[in-house]
Amino acid sequence: MDHERIDTSWGRKVKVGSIVVRCYEFDRMLAFWQEALTYVPREPAEDGWVVLCDPGGRGPNISLDKVPEPFGPIGETSRVHLDLYTNDQEGEVNRLLELGATRYPRRYSPEEDFVVLEDPDGNRFCVVQVATEK
Q: Which domains does the chain possess?
A: 13-71+79-133 (3.10.180.10)
Q: Where are the alpha helices (DSSP H) in 45-132?
A: 89-99
pLDDT > 90? residue 58: no
Give dist(CA 129, CA 112) in Å, integer. 10
pTM for the full model? 0.72
Give dist(CA 84, CA 86) in Å, integer. 7
pLDDT (tens digit per residue) in 68-96: 888 776 666 678 899 999 999 999 999 99
Mean pLDDT (whole number) for 38-47: 96
pLDDT score at 133: 56
Number of Cβ atoms within 10 Å of the Cβ of 56? 8
pLDDT > 80? residue 121: no
pLDDT score at 126: 94
